[in-house]
Structure 1
Amino acid sequence: MDIRHLRYFIAVAEEQHFTRAAERLHMAQPPLSQTIRQLETELGVELLHRSTRSVTLTPAGQAYLERARAILHGLGDATEHVRRVAAGAVGRLVIGCVGSATYSLLPQLSRGLAEALPGIDFAFRGEMLVPDQVTALRNGDIDIALLRPPVADLGLTVQPIRQDRLVVALPAGHRLAPVERVRVKQLAGSDLIVHSADRRSVMYDVALGLLRNAGIEPHIRHEVGETSTLVTLVAGGLGVAIVPDPVSALRLEGVAYRPLVQPATTVQLAVAHRADRHEPHLARAVGVIHDLV
């Protein structure tokens, strides 16, 4: 038995006539009749009552017609589905974002990805530090990461997508809050709030490197794991923080963001995934992220 036999049987059952069914199938009538006989022999049941003028379905034939239609419908659905999979139009992806991308990009990304790739189910994890993102990519807990290089893992494909300038987040009452632009040297004597060194945050090294290059020994008052906590502590007057400019999208009363100059420094934002992942829907999502960002 093959799919052709099912199509022949459905045509005969619907036309209730071998000649009309043969015309519908663009074939001769005798081979069609022979095929239906072979099908009945293989099944061991009679599917049709035959007369000189027409054919009618037996109870077994009626049941077989329903199943045959369902099989062909399912086959059509399966064909369409695999074509959509091959085109990268369906699937599920989890995207992990560093803190600054969580607040500045996640609303835009969630809308843009849903509009561009409606057949893909997207989930998002925010406030992830880069080492946690790398581990999650390796383990398959996330599929794509928006992170800040450097990333030493050679098993990941990392594609830069933009440069973000650095700003300083200041308590509203800080002596530098009235200043339009802040020089790094002006941060001397200020308490510092940073992302956790224990969790190997990229921004920890960036912030301390800037201060030390300016001849300032950092005085770290708090280390935190989440950007929202960092900004909240700044709002509480507990210190200042050097952050990528997109963090300024997180507006809290009591926080002033000022451009950081002399030196004017940027940090890279990149999209990353495992190098051994080549699924079409993942590639399409990465392309859309490039376009959106």
Structure 2
Amino acid sequence: MELRQFKYFLAIVENKSLSRAAEHLHVAQSALSKQLAELESELGVQLLSRSRNGVTTTEAGKVFYEYAQGITKQISDARAAVLRSSDAVVGSVVVALPQSVAATIAMPLMRAVSRRYPNILFHLNEELTGNMADQLLLGRVDIAVFTETMPSRDIVFTPLVEEAFVLMHSPQDPIAPAPGDISLDEAVAQPLVLPSAQHGHCTRWIVDDALKRAGLPPQRIAAEINSVYVLKSAVEAGIGPTIMPLGLAQREVEEGRLVAHRIASTDVVRVLGLCVSRHLPTSNAKLAICRLISDVLRDLCESGQWSGGRYLGAVAQRGR
């Protein structure tokens, strides 16, 4: 397989049409069709289905598309690396953040990258947590800020921040607990609004594990919502309470739209850190962004902008 075939295939899928892809690539449509036919022949599978409405990926095509994106990115990064001096901090870096982290660190991180590394082409993706390990392993993402739930045989995890969870409910909740700290048992007294188990690695899984450790039954669910913003709105509207890190709803609590209770359990916490693939090369740009993420998270915790966050990076590094 040639790099050109990967690029042609990606263009066809993303433009949903051979003619539009040919126009985008400035090549003849017949040449594009020939390259696609050779690619499908070499793989021994059909990658695309054609119809009057354009082209769609087959199941095999969907798998190949994921790999093709990662492969073309790695080749592009390799080309940039060899064309620059060994100490240059240039190239592209893709960082993935789960929804439950993006609200806190996305803008401070983007501002820091723009200020400190203007020659890095920085991409920031907000992802559902169930997709992030695959994105890293396929090479489509360079760095993820996540919990230590990805497979250690493939992913290197460096802990940076610890966050305690709180019970969050509407001020109008008629059966909410009295002000002050509450037990884990009290926190799950009502059916909760939570992300689905498939996409709740950074939140739902923490709650599930804490209940299991405490010998409590699984929580009852009022609704499953895989959007942090919609989930907070649902809690504010009285659909049910939730358990989440305080930093996720700091503004709503300060404005009196939500009420938070600290949960007296050392198990209802999450540790966030850097996740990178063990199998992909590390560029100067990638190392620089890893260090910058650590600096940004430390500054947010120490300045109080990350409510409930405790920086662990320096401790983690000393222990290595």
TM-score higher than 0.5 here? yes
Aligned-residue offset at 1:153: 4.6
2:225 paired with 1:231: no
Cα 1:98–1:207 change in 2 (3 A) is same
Instruction: Pick one of 274, 277, 282 that aligns with 2:277.
Output: 274
Gaps of 5+ in 1: 1-77
2:245 paired with 1:241: no
User: 3-state SS of the aligned residue for 2:95?
Assistant: strand
Aligned-residue offset at 1:267: 0.8
Aligned-residue offset at 1:188: 4.2
Q: Which amino acid aligns with 1:107?
A: M
Cα 1:178–1:107 change in 2 (3 A) is farther
Confirm or deny: 8 A CA contact 1:166 1:264 kept in the other structure: no
- Size of the aligned set, in residue pairs, is 213
Q: Distance in 1 between matches of 2:106 and 2:177?
A: 28
2:260 paired with 1:261: no
Confirm or deny: 8 A CA contact 1:171 1:256 kept in the other structure: yes
Confirm or deny: 8 A CA contact 1:149 1:202 kept in the other structure: no
User: 3-state SS of the aligned residue for 2:123?
Assistant: strand
1:288 match: 292
Q: Which amino acid aligns with 1:133?
A: M
User: 3-state SS of the aligned residue for 1:270?
Assistant: strand
Cα 1:236–1:214 change in 2 (3 A) is farther
Aligned-residue offset at 1:102: 0.6
Q: Distance in 2 between matches of 1:111 and 1:184?
A: 38
Confirm or deny: 8 A CA contact 1:144 1:272 kept in the other structure: yes
Confirm or deny: 8 A CA contact 2:144 2:276 kept in the other structure: yes
Q: Deviations over 1:97-126 (max 9, x none)?
A: 112221111111111122121111212112
2:138 match: 139
2:148 match: 149
Give identity over the alignment, percent: 16
Confirm or deny: 8 A CA contact 2:202 2:270 kept in the other structure: no
Within a 5 Å distance, the mapping from 1:73-152 to structure 2 comes to 82-83=84-85, 86-126=86-126, 128-152=127-151
Q: Distance in 2 between matches of 1:230 and 1:250?
A: 15
Confirm or deny: 8 A CA contact 1:188 1:216 kept in the other structure: no
Aligned-residue offset at 1:281: 0.7
Aligned residues: CA RMSD = 2.6
User: 3-state SS of the aligned residue for 1:290?
Assistant: helix
Q: Which range is displaced more, 258-267 or 237-246? A: 258-267
Confirm or deny: 8 A CA contact 2:170 2:238 kept in the other structure: yes
User: 3-state SS of the aligned residue for 1:115?
Assistant: helix
Within a 5 Å distance, the mapping from 1:164-243 to structure 2 comes to 164-174=163-173, 175-176=175-176, 179-199=179-199, 201-212=201-212, 213=214, 215-243=216-244
Q: Which amino acid aligns with 2:84?
A: V
Cα 1:88–1:224 change in 2 (3 A) is farther
Task: Please list every run of at least 4 consecutive aligned residues from structure 1 whose deviation after the TM superposition is greater than 4 angstroms.
Answer: none
Aligned-residue offset at 1:260: 1.8
Q: Distance in 1 between matches of 2:181 and 2:267?
A: 10
Q: Which amino acid aligns with 1:226?
A: S
Q: Deviations over 1:177-227 (max 9, x none)?
A: 651323212124311111111346342221123345263541112112222
Cα 1:177–1:104 change in 2 (3 A) is farther
Q: Which amino acid aligns with 1:289?
A: I
Q: Which amino acid aligns with 2:148?
A: P
Q: Distance in 1 between matches of 2:272 and 2:221?
A: 25
Larger CA Rg, structure 1 vs 2: 1
Q: Distance in 2 between matches of 1:178 and 1:262?
A: 18
Q: Deviations over 1:133-166 (max 9, x none)?
A: 1111122222211112222252222111111111
Cα 1:109–1:226 change in 2 (3 A) is same
Gaps of 5+ in 2: 1-79, 298-320
